[in-house]
């Protein structure tokens, strides 16, 4: 089996050239066969007329002038007198005998021609001498014209074959060279070197397109490798920090006698760091599941406004502890989505808003029914996010203020999870923020997921009377 693409290309082209030459040789012979036969008959007839004119001029069928004709050695001539006695001229080379019936036709004054194989062709030409009828038959002896043509044609085809083979070898090397470069580049990529380039990228043919696609793939792989390294580094850092705290305080409690208050404080720190590790692990598993093609997605129709109210009630202890004021604008709205996944979106956004909103601040939750989408906006009155941080806000492990995030117990994965879930629902999410005024996250679900005529409202969750909340239905 031939493994080299270069050798395959060369052999394929050579086979094509050889086959073309052979076919051209036989086709040309077939096409020009009739033309050769007609020309041969014309030459035979002209030779017969020339011979007859010479005989009529000399009045002697055995004249020496007949042997001096320049073409006499190229043909075999047979002359029959009225009594069918024959005289031959030239050299005989297995030419067939002339039949008596044909001789009689020519003696009768008729020109007779015989076509077919060149050695079987002849011309019977009648002429008169001294009052008697004679029959002259001219047959081919020398086939140099046809042989010369075949020799020339075969020579031309052979030269064509040789030159074509040379050009094929050169062209095949030119075609295969970029592929060899890509093979070397593949080996470099497998070793982690993504800085590759190809000279064939400027070409406008399929090879150039392949080179550009290959280079683009290498660039994307380089970016993915960088993301992988950043991800590993971030995960290592996020895991190492709580582990260091747990190990340090555990060692401190074991080697020192501590009062109960100090011990309880150490245990509280250990517990918080353990919970932080647990949340990090859960978020990593959730992201991995969302990234996979087998993550369960179970869409169903349900009341979006009721879902938001239930979540707000469930996290009431958190926002009540900071004495926050919640302003709700939740008109009835039906959506078709994975309820569990969207619950995670609202929980993460609300936790984020509560986390960065100061005491006695305000959080607004607003749902809007538009012609092509339903939008949910979660707005807080916190410190805001710098404009330079906004493009990276949904990146994994990205934190605008790492010291503040650590105090709040964040891992930098919450908004990445939100973005992924919204993306799975073919929706969009945008963020707007002003330093010192707060941040607003707006989630838009596409029109196919919206139903503006909800069924009768179910019993809505109740909120304690002493909480600071205002709602617009």
pLDDT category, 248, cuts 50, 70, 90?
confident
pLDDT category, 147, cuts 50, 70, 90?
low
Structural domains of the chain ordered from first start: 5-146 (3.30.450), 206-290 (1.10.287.130), 296-446 (3.30.565.10)
Q: What is the pLDDT of residue 1?
A: 47
Across the range 306-316, mean pLDDT stands at 90
pLDDT category, 349, cuts 50, 70, 90?
very high
Q: What is the pLDDT of residue 471?
A: 40
Residue 328 has pLDDT above 70, yes or no: yes
Look at 169-183, 199-213, 252-266, 457-471 and tell me which has the smallest mean pLDDT.
457-471
Instruction: Report the run of H or E that residue 149 belongs to, with start and end.
Output: helix 144-190
Share of the chain above pLDDT 90, in %: 10
Q: What is the pLDDT of residue 411?
A: 64
Residue 66 has pLDDT above 50, yes or no: yes
Q: pLDDT tens digits, residue range 189-224?
A: 777 777 777 666 666 667 677 778 878 888 788 777
Q: What is the pLDDT of residue 464?
A: 43
Q: What is the pLDDT of residue 148?
A: 60
Across the range 311-317, mean pLDDT stands at 89
What is the average pLDDT score of the chain? 77
Look at 53-62, 99-108, 320-329, 409-418 and tell me which has the smallest mean pLDDT.
409-418
Look at 195-199, 325-329, 331-335 and tell me which has the smallest mean pLDDT.
195-199
3-state SS assignment for residue 76: strand
DSSP code string of 369-426: E-SSEEEEEEEE-SS---TTTGGGTTSTT--S-HHHHHHHT--S-HHHHHHHHHHHTT
- Among 125-129, 240-244, 274-278, 393-397, the range with the most confident prediction by mean pLDDT is 125-129
Contact between 346 and 311 (Cβ < 8 Å) = yes
Residue 19 has pLDDT above 90, yes or no: no
Q: What is the pLDDT of residue 31?
A: 65
334-338 and 299-303 strand pairing: antiparallel
Q: Show Cβ contacts of residue 404 under 8 Å, excluding neighbours closer than 6 positions.
A: 356
Q: What is the pLDDT of residue 376?
A: 93
pLDDT category, 6, cuts 50, 70, 90?
low
Question: Distance between CA 303 and CA 253 in Å, rounded?
Answer: 51
Question: Distance between CA 448 and CA 372 in Å, rounded?
Answer: 8
Look at 26-35, 177-186, 192-201, 374-383 and tell me which has the smallest mean pLDDT.
26-35
pLDDT category, 473, cuts 50, 70, 90?
very low
């Amino acid at each position: 089996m031939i493994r080299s693409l270069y050798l395959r290309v060369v052999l394929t082209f050579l086979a094509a050239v050889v086959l073309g030459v052979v076919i051209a040789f036989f086709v040309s012979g077939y096409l020009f066969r009739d033309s050769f036969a007609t020309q041969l008959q014309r030459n035979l007839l002209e030779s017969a007329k020339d011979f007859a004119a010479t005989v009529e001029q000399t009045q002697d069928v055995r004249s020496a002038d007949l042997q001096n004709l320049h073409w006499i050695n190229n043909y075999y001539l047979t002359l029959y007198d009225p009594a069918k006695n024959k005289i031959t001229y030239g050299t005989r080379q297995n030419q067939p005998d002339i039949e008596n019936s044909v001789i009689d036709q020519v003696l009768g004054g008729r020109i007779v021609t015989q076509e077919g194989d060149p050695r079987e062709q002849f011309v019977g030409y009648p002429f008169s001498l001294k009052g008697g009828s004679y029959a002259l038959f001219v047959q081919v002896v020398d086939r140099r014209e046809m042989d010369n043509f075949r020799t020339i044609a075969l020579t031309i085809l052979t030269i064509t074959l040789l030159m074509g083979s040379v050009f094929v070898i050169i062209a095949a090397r030119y075609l295969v060279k970029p592929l060899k470069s890509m093979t070397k580049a593949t080996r470099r990529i497998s070793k982690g070197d993504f800085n590759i380039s190809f000279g064939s990228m400027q070409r406008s043919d399929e090879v150039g397109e392949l080179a550009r696609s290959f280079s683009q793939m290498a660039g994307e792989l380089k970016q993915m490798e960088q993301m992988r390294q950043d991800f590993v580094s971030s995960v290592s850092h996020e895991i190492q920090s709580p582990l260091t705290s747990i190990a340090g305080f555990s060692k401190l409690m074991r080697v020192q006698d501590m009062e109960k208050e100090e011990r309880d404080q150490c245990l509280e720190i250990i517990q918080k760091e353990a919970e932080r590790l647990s949340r990090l692990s859960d978020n990593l598993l959730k992201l991995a599941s969302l990234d996979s093609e087998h993550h369960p997605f179970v869409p169903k129709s349900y009341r979006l406004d009721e879902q938001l109210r239930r979540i707000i009630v469930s996290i009431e202890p958190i926002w009540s502890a900071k004495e926050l004021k919640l302003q709700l604008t939740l008109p009835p709205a039906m959506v078709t989505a994975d309820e569990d996944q969207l619950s995670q979106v609202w929980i993460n956004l609300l936790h984020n808003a509560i986390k960065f909103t100061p005491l006695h601040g305000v959080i607004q939750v607003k749902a809007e029914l538009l012609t092509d989408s339903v939008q949910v906006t979660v707005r807080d009155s916190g410190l805001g996010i710098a404009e330079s941080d906004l493009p990276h806000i949904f990146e994994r492990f990205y934190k605008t203020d790492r010291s503040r995030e650590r105090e709040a117990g964040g891992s930098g994965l919450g908004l990445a999870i939100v973005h992924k879930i919204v993306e799975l629902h073919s929706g969009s999410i945008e963020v707007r923020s002003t330093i010192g005024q707060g941040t607003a996250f707006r989630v838009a679900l596409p029109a196919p997921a919206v139903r503006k005529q909800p069924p009768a409202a179910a019993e809505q969750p109740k909120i304690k009377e002493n909480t600071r909340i205002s709602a617009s239905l």
